[in-house]
């Protein structure tokens, strides 16, 4: 009995001493490297056919990765207090870029206007807007906590901001980004202490709006129908999903080997972007897919641990911001993998740190840098708190 208690206490002590920062950085770097390798494998044939250079996409992804690492280093050195003080500025930037993409500055690809040309690459405005809006909402939660928890107006004000941003996203249209932003924001508000009963009307309204959006747009309705039975029309509306499922089936347990995917050879559209998880499963099998899932689990759990420890250290904004950022990454990764496996209807969301795309990769790197900064500030605060009693004790002895 005593041995069991001592083992339990030792285990609890070991868990308490775990540092999430190394796990966060290692998992993020592993996903980044895996993404570059898989983009190299998945894009060579389509790049040779469309761009005349087999290494076109992987070279660009390497460039984005370098820029992302530089932005991560910058964000690590930006105090969390700056994000809190700049809430209104970030809100303005977020809404401005969402509005600008609807002007002649916006670039339309495959029927969606989501990008603004910016030199050598296009900026997907939803990625920038999501981070800016989460930062603003985290500041609101901290500033108006009592009003948010106890009054309906305090609860509805941030929802109004989300409503404006969501409307701009739907117009693009970018339904996937809308779902990620609204769900992450709602989760962040819930974790701040808002009663679950307040979310019931919100969930009902969002469900009704989602149904309306699906029924009023034929392409969304086709996606839902094909999701329910993709094999019924496997050469039209269910084409992407059936090809993705074929990739999973071909991978079996250990995969067909790196570079040996058949589905990437013009069978599976967007193989190096939205459906790269299917190519990973085909080339590395179920074990490779589980490895990716495990790396994202480590990353997300590390983010939540960082947020929780910041909350215990009485760093409310840092904790709320970290919760929001972790939800953004976790939800987008979960939805992407669920789409590839047929658990959710098809939608255009990248796999963070893995899929091809400069905007997603660089913003994901910034998010990792912010989480690291939160943990570093918490550790510094605890170190200062531990040094003060020692200083007072030495002063008393003198």
| The pLDDT value given to residue 82 | 94
Angle, CA of 163, 165 and 166, to the nearest 5°: 60
What's the rounded Cα separation, in Å, for the pair 197 and 183? 16
Q: What is the pLDDT of residue 23?
A: 92
Give the mean model confidence (pLDDT) for residues 162-173.
87
Instruction: Look at residue 11 in the predicted model and tell me its pLDDT.
Output: 46
pLDDT > 60? residue 398: no
Would you call 293 helix, strand, or coil by DSSP?
A: helix
What's the rounded mean pLDDT across residues 181-200?
85
Instruction: Kindly report, residue by residue over 92-148, the tens digit of the pLDDT.
Output: 999 998 988 888 877 877 667 788 887 777 888 889 999 999 999 999 998 888 888
Residues 6+ apart with CB under 8 A from 127: 177, 359, 360, 363
| Average pLDDT score over the chain | 84
Task: For residue 144, give both structure tokens.
Answer: 């108006």
Q: Which residue bears the tokens 């347990």? A: 253
Could you tell me the pLDDT band of residue 281, with boundaries at 50, 70 and 90? Answer: very high
Q: What pLDDT does residue 390 have?
A: 58
- In the β-sheet with 121-124, what is the strand arrangement from edge to edge? 107-109, 112-118, 121-124
Q: pLDDT value at position 27?
A: 94
pLDDT of 216 > 80? The answer is: no
pLDDT at 199: 80
Give the whole-number percent of the chain exceeding pLDDT 90.
38
Given a contact cutoff of 8 angstroms between Cβ atoms, the answer to whether 357 and 124 are in contact is: yes
Which range of 38-47, 119-128, 153-162, 317-326 scores highest in mean pLDDT? It is: 317-326
| pLDDT surpasses 60 at 18 | no
pLDDT level of residue 220 (50, 70, 90 thresholds): low
Residue range 364-378: mean pLDDT, rounded: 94
- Structure letter (DSSP) for residue 236: T
pLDDT digits 0-9 by tens, 50-69: 888 888 899 999 999 999 99
Look at residue 197 in the predicted model and tell me its pLDDT.
Answer: 79
Q: Residue 287: pLDDT band by 50, 70, 90 thresholds?
A: very high
Quote the pLDDT of residue 391: 57
Residue 330 reports pLDDT greater than 80 = yes
pLDDT band at 9 (very low <50, low <70, confident <90, very high): very low
Position 300 pLDDT exceeds 90: yes
112-118 and 107-109 beta bridge pairing: antiparallel
pLDDT band at 4 (very low <50, low <70, confident <90, very high): very low
Q: What is the pLDDT of residue 176?
A: 84
- Cα–Cα dist 5/16, whole Å: 16
Question: Once rounded to an integer, what is the mean pLDDT over residues 8-35?
Answer: 75
- pLDDT greater than 90 at residue 324: yes
The two tokens of residue 102 are 């609807």
Query: Of 262, 232, 258, 236, whose CA–CA distance to 249 is shortest?
Result: 262
């Amino acid at each position: 009995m005593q041995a069991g208690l001592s083992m339990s206490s030792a285990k609890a002590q070991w868990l308490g001493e775990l540092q999430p920062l190394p796990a966060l950085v290692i998992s993020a770097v592993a996903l980044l490297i895996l993404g570059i390798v898989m983009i190299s494998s998945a894009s060579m044939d389509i790049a040779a056919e469309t761009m005349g250079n087999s290494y076109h996409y992987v070279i660009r992804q390497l460039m984005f990765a370098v820029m992302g690492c530089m932005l991560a280093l910058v964000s690590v050195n930006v105090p969390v207090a700056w994000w809190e003080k700049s809430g209104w500025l970030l809100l303005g930037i977020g809404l401005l870029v969402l509005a600008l993409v609807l002007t002649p500055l916006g670039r339309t690809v495959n029927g969606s206007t989501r990008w603004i040309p910016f030199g050598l690459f296009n900026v997907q405005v939803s990625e920038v807007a999501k981070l800016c809006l989460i930062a603003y909402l985290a500041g609101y939660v901290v500033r108006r906590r009592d009003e948010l928890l106890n009054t309906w107006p305090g609860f509805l004000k941030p929802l109004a901001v989300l409503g404006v941003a969501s409307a701009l996203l739907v117009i693009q249209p970018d339904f996937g980004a809308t779902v990620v932003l609204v769900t992450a924001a709602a989760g962040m508000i819930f974790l701040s202490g808002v009663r679950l009963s307040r979310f019931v009307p919100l969930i009902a309204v969002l469900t009704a709006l989602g149904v309306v959006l699906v029924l009023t747009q034929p392409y969304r309705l086709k996606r839902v129908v094909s999701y329910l039975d993709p094999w019924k029309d496997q050469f039209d509306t269910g084409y992407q999903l059936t090809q993705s499922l074929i990739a999973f089936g071909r991978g079996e347990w250990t995969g067909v080997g790196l570079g040996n995917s058949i589905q990437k050879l013009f069978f599976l559209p967007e193989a190096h972007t939205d459906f790269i998880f299917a190519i990973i499963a085909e080339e590395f099998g179920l074990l490779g897919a589980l490895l990716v899932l495990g790396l994202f689990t480590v990353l997300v759990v590390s983010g939540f641990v960082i947020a929780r420890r910041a909350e215990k250290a009485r760093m409310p904004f840092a904790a709320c911001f970290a919760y929001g950022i972790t939800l953004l990454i976790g939800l987008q990764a979960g939805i992407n993998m669920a789409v590839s496996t047929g658990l959710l209807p098809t939608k255009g969301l990248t796999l963070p740190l893995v899929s091809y795309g400069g905007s997603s990769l660089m913003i994901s790197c910034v998010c990792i840098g912010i989480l690291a900064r939160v943990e570093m500030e918490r550790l510094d605060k605890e170190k200062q708190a531990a040094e003060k009693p020692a200083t007072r004790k030495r002063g008393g002895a003198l």
